[in-house]
Amino acid sequence: MLPEPDPQQVVCEEAACQSLGAMLEHCLSRSKRTKMGYFTVLVPERLTRCIAPDVLWLSSTEPCSLWSCVIQVQLEVDNMCMRLSPIVCRASVAPTFELTLVFKKEHGSWGGFRDIFGRGCLSFSQGRILILSSGFRLVKKNYSAGTHSR
């Protein structure tokens, strides 16, 4: 029989997931025009909520958990990766590891969506709207002593 989960820990993890999801959404929002060149980025409804528990799980074995993490956010379009803004989870804690999070552009399944709204309403043809896929890649890299500088 499995032990009952600690309600306080569950609440803490939920709050951490919500906070992390908000950081990811803010990164995408901040980068959409300056780095990605889009006016609008459409994110699948639960994407950031799916990513956050994975990030917490990969952080769980680290000395300062999530607080010692730097998340390098990237966007993959046509097998090319573009670096977006990194997320430093807590600036006052020296990072011990890095996570690379790669969002992927949705390919081909939104043609009907485009047809419903028409080209005059949403400028898909001019590259102004990016639709993200529900798929993502998350890779962990530990820093060796003395190899990372701020």
Indicate whether 147 belongs to any domain.
no
Confidence class for position 71, pLDDT limits 50, 70, 90: very high
Judge whether 69 and 98 are in contact, CB under 8 Å: yes
Indicate whether 2 belongs to any domain.
no
Q: Could you tell me the residue range of the domain that residue 35 belongs to? A: 7-142
Indicate whether 149 belongs to any domain.
no
Q: Could you report the per-residue pLDDT of 10-67, keeping only the tens digit for each? A: 446 788 888 899 999 999 988 887 777 888 888 998 899 899 999 999 998 888 888 8
Indicate whether 109 belongs to any domain.
yes
Q: Could you report the per-residue pLDDT of 92-109, keeping only the tens digit for each? A: 988 999 999 999 999 765
Indicate whether 150 belongs to any domain.
no
Mean pLDDT of the chain: 78
Q: What is the CATH number of the domain that holds 120?
A: 3.90.470.40
What's the structural domain count of the chain? 1
